[in-house]
Amino acid sequence: MSQSVAVEDYKLGAGDKVRMTVFNEPTLSGEFSVSADGALSLPLLGDVQAVGKSPVEIAKIVQTRLSDGYIREPKVSVEVTAYRPFFILGEVTAPGQYPYASGLTVLNAVATAQGFTPRASRKVVYIRRSGSTAEETYRLTPDLSVRPGDTIRVGERYF
């Protein structure tokens, strides 16, 4: 039941940071953040819509737009340098927003939030995936993964 996200399948969202490298063009290369409205503000090109697109798709879009009158045969690469945070609430000691790290599991997220409270249910958790409107129930297993932007809720157990 592992839900890990392959790097090439990762879709950008507001709050992600990317490093764009345009080969032999240091003034066009740099670190950029996806804004709240879902765009990357890039030199020469202005805003490029990024939400829901993979880093590879963004690189192709930028490459196409740069080759249209700006640079002959540009080579562009885009990589994620910082993922949007995840949120954890409910029966954990320190609920809140935390930075996402690649390979994060729900148990790691709970540890980041200083562990379960004494009343916490240790059998199931509720996760609302980024972009979804509904929470889903998951059995708490050691390999249950967290994705950037997820909201995890640890419920209360009933005695």
53 and 72 together in one domain = yes
118 and 133 together in one domain = yes
At residue 58, the 3 state secondary structure works out as helix
pLDDT in tens, 44-71: 999 999 999 999 999 999 999 999 988 9
Mean pLDDT of the chain: 91
According to the model, what pLDDT value does residue 4 have?
A: 43
Q: How many domains does the chain have?
A: 2
According to the model, what pLDDT value does residue 5 have?
A: 47
Q: What is the pTM of this model?
A: 0.78
pLDDT in tens, 7-32: 557 899 989 999 999 999 999 999 99
Run of H or E residues at 112: helix 106-112
73 and 96 together in one domain = no
The range of the structural domain enclosing residue 100 comes to 86-154
At residue 1, the 3 state secondary structure works out as coil
According to the model, what pLDDT value does residue 8 have?
A: 53
28 and 77 together in one domain = yes
Q: What is the DSSP letter of 156?
A: B
Q: Which of 31, 50, 82 is the last residue of a domain?
A: 82
CB count within 10 Å of CB 103 equals 9
Position 2 in a domain? no
